[in-house]
């Protein structure tokens, strides 16, 4: 008789349930930290995007250009592209196993 066809007894079901509960209770703190980390990264990406928008507006004012304001759709598209670039940057940092060491070197 294979495990797939075997019916579990109430005691086995209760033991499995307790096993699952214990697993999830142990994982929750890590998941909460991960969620907080991801939220912080999102806030950073949004702040970078806003800073970029401000810099672009300042540059346009400095050049005296009459430039059309971007539509809501264009702004959304730029936000999505910026967030995607930030996410890709984060993924590439996570995938590098050894951190890059920064050192000061003397040039003679």
Higher pLDDT, 100 or 25: 25
Distance CA 62, CA 85 (A): 28
pLDDT at 105 over 70: no
* Strand, coil or helix: 19: helix
Q: What is the pLDDT of residue 1?
A: 45
**CB-based contact 58:51 (threshold 8 Å):** no
So what's the pLDDT on residue 3?
54
| 43-98 pLDDT, tens digit each | 999 999 999 999 998 888 888 766 677 788 888 888 888 888 888 877 777 766 55
Contact 30, 37 (CB under 8 A): no
């Amino acid at each position: 008789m294979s495990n797939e066809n075997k019916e579990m007894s109430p005691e086995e079901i209760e033991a499995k349930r307790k096993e699952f509960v214990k697993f999830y209770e142990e994982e929750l703190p890590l998941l909460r930290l991960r969620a907080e980390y991801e939220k912080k990264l999102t806030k950073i990406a949004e702040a970078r995007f806003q800073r970029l928008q401000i810099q672009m507006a300042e540059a346009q004012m400095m050049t005296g250009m009459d430039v059309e304001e971007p539509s809501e759709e264009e702004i959304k598209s730029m936000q999505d592209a910026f967030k995607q670039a930030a996410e890709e940057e984060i993924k590439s940092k996570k995938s590098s196993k050894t951190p890059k060491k920064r050192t000061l070197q003397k040039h003679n």
